């Protein structure tokens, strides 16, 4: 079985190496990284996917940002090892990350990426949300984890300056649902594998 777990300090070097492998040199010079510098990641949502040999196959990270004073999750980077791309592992990690995010009470997610890929998870262009330049506005995409969560949330994307991120999520009223830290998943190409979707329902793939 494959395993998806929250990233720990022990995973950090491997995750950085995977990102270096999958992205062009200078990835940290991208404007989106200015929103991340010095801001703690959302630790519960940074996930690693390992194969049965414990090899790191994929990783995803999330950071907190603000738009119009509202808390927003910035998704990315996500990367799948080049030897396993196109096998559905990226989709597994996206869905698990988004399911966990909803369970923790997050309402809206933002990313900069290719709409043809991310639209399958429900992401759509955010016309009035501005990433730091230079960012192609066509690549600024959002997803509502609660209906209407992006309505009226417009303007520049700003760094999360609240020292204690959880305290900054004052709009979250309900007690967050904390799921298991690690989950086992079958390979997406294995027809017998069951898994959870972003809307929390189980599905066979
Ligand atoms: C993008 C990435 C995370 C997707 O993960 P993956 O496991 O390879 O993708 P999946 O197997 O879940 O999905 C495969 C499908 O997505 C499509 N796809 C993958 N990347 C795409 C892109 N950039 N644009 C459009 N479609 C894309 C494939 O064509 C395939 O389509 P199909 O289902 O119609 O055959 C992975 O390919 C990767 O790490 N790429 C390099 C790093 C990167 O670009 N990261 C994203 C930016 S933060």
Question: What's the structural domain count of the chain?
Answer: 1
What's the pLDDT score for residue 175?
Answer: 54
Q: Which are the contacts of 151, defined by CB distance < 8 A and separation ≥ 6?
A: none
- Ligand 1, residue 89: give the atom nearest the CA: 7
What's the pLDDT score for residue 161?
Answer: 84
pLDDT tens string 165-201: 554 454 454 555 666 799 999 998 875 444 443 343 3
All residue ranges of the chain with pLDDT < 70 are 163-179, 191-205
0.85 exceeded by pTM: yes
> What is the CATH classification number for the domain harbouring 28?
3.40.630.30
The dihedrals phi and psi of 129, each to the nearest 5 degrees, come to -110, 125
What's the pLDDT score for residue 28?
Answer: 87
What's the pLDDT score for residue 176?
Answer: 59
Q: Does residue 41 fall inside a structural domain?
A: yes
User: What is the span of the domain harbouring residue 118?
Assistant: 2-190
Query: What's the 181 CA to ligand 1 centre distance in angstroms?
Result: 25
- Ligand 1, residue 23: give the atom nearest the CA: 42
- Ligand 1, residue 87: give the atom nearest the CA: 11
Q: Which two tokens stand for residue 184?
A: 């086992």
Q: Does residue 195 fall inside a structural domain?
A: no
From the CB of 114, is ligand 1 less than 6 Å away?
Answer: yes
Q: Does residue 198 fall inside a structural domain?
A: no
Burial 72-81 (b: 16+ CB within 10 A, else e): bbbbbbbbbb
Q: Does residue 197 fall inside a structural domain?
A: no
Query: What's the 180 CA to ligand 1 centre distance in angstroms?
Result: 27
Query: What's the 118 CA to ligand 1 centre distance in angstroms?
Result: 9
Q: Does residue 55 fall inside a structural domain?
A: yes
Query: What's the 57 CA to ligand 1 centre distance in angstroms?
Result: 14
Q: Does residue 200 fall inside a structural domain?
A: no
What's the pLDDT score for residue 197?
Answer: 38
Q: Does residue 180 fall inside a structural domain?
A: yes
Concatenating the DSSP letter of every residue in the chain gives: -EEEEE--GGGHHHHHHHHHHHS-TTGGGSGGGGGTTT----GGG-EEEE-TT--EEEEEEEEEEEETTEEEEEEEEEEE-GGGTTSSHHHHHHHHHHHHHHHTT--EEEEES-HHHHGGGT-EE-TTEEPSSS--GGGEEEEESSTTTTTT--EEEEE---SSHHHH-TT--SPP----S-EEE--TT-TT-EEE-TTS-EEE-
Q: Does residue 199 fall inside a structural domain?
A: no
Q: Which of 76, 90, 92, 96 to mutate to test the pocket of ligand 1 (most atoms within 8 A of CB)?
A: 90
What's the pLDDT score for residue 184?
Answer: 95
Rounded-to-integer distance, Cα 23 and Cα 94, Å: 18
């Amino acid at each position: 079985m494959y395993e998806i777990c929250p990233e720990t300090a022990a995973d950090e070097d491997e995750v950085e190496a995977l990102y270096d492998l999958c992205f062009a040199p200078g990835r940290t010079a991208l404007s989106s990284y200015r929103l991340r510098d010095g801001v703690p990641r959302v630790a519960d949502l940074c996930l690693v996917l390992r194969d049965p040999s414990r090899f790191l196959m994929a990783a995803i990270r999330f950071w907190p940002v603000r738009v119009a004073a509202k808390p927003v999750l910035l998704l990315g980077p996500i990367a799948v090892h080049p030897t396993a791309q196109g096998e559905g592992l990226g989709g597994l990690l996206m869905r698990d990350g988004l399911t966990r995010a909803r369970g923790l009470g997050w309402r809206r997610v933002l990313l900069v990426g290719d709409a043809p890929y991310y639209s399958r998870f429900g992401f759509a262009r955010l016309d009035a949300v501005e990433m730091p330049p230079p960012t192609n506005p066509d690549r600024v995409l959002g997803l509502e984890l609660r209906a209407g969560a992006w309505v009226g949330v417009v303007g520049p994307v700003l760094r999360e300056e609240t020292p204690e991120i959880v305290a900054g999520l004052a709009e979250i009223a309900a007690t967050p649902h904390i799921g298991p830290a690690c989950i086992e998943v079958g390979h997406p190409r294995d027809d017998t594998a069951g898994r959870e979707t972003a809307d929390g329902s189980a599905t066979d793939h």
